[in-house]
């Protein structure tokens, strides 16, 4: 295994991690922004108002994107296992 192979493995792992986490983070960010705008316009400063909708939105996004995330993770794992003989040489 060359250093280039190790860097490529690390780069692919980081890429798949960012790809899988992006939908959930974007949904959480969008809901947080909407709540922040709502709180700024109404001057309601309740702390639970920020957490509960974000948790619900991220859970719904997780239900919606979970099949796609599992397919991506399964493909990455298959490719990783199939590349083991090439890495060993």
Q: Would you list the domain boundaries of the chain?
A: 3-88
What is the pTM assigned to this prediction?
0.82
pLDDT in tens, 41-89: 998 888 788 899 999 999 999 999 999 999 999 999 999 999 988 888 7
* Rounded CA separation 86/3 (Å): 14
Burial 28-65, CB ≥16 within 10 A → b, else e: beebeeebeeeeeeeeeeeeeebeebbeebbeebeeeb
- Mean pLDDT, range 1-9, rounded to an integer: 88
Cα of 15 vs its chain's centroid, Å = 10
DSSP 40-63: HHHT---SHHHHHHHHHHHHHHHH
> Which pLDDT score is estimated for 87?
82
């Amino acid at each position: 295994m060359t250093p280039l192979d190790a860097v490529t493995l690390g780069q692919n792992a980081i890429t798949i991690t960012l790809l899988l986490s992006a939908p959930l983070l974007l949904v959480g960010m969008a809901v947080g922004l909407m709540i922040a705008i709502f709180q700024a316009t109404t001057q309601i400063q309740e702390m639970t108002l920020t957490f509960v909708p974000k948790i619900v939105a991220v859970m719904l996004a997780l239900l919606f994107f979970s099949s796609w995330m599992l397919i991506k993770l399964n493909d990455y794992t298959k490719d990783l296992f199939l590349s083991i003989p090439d890495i060993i040489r």
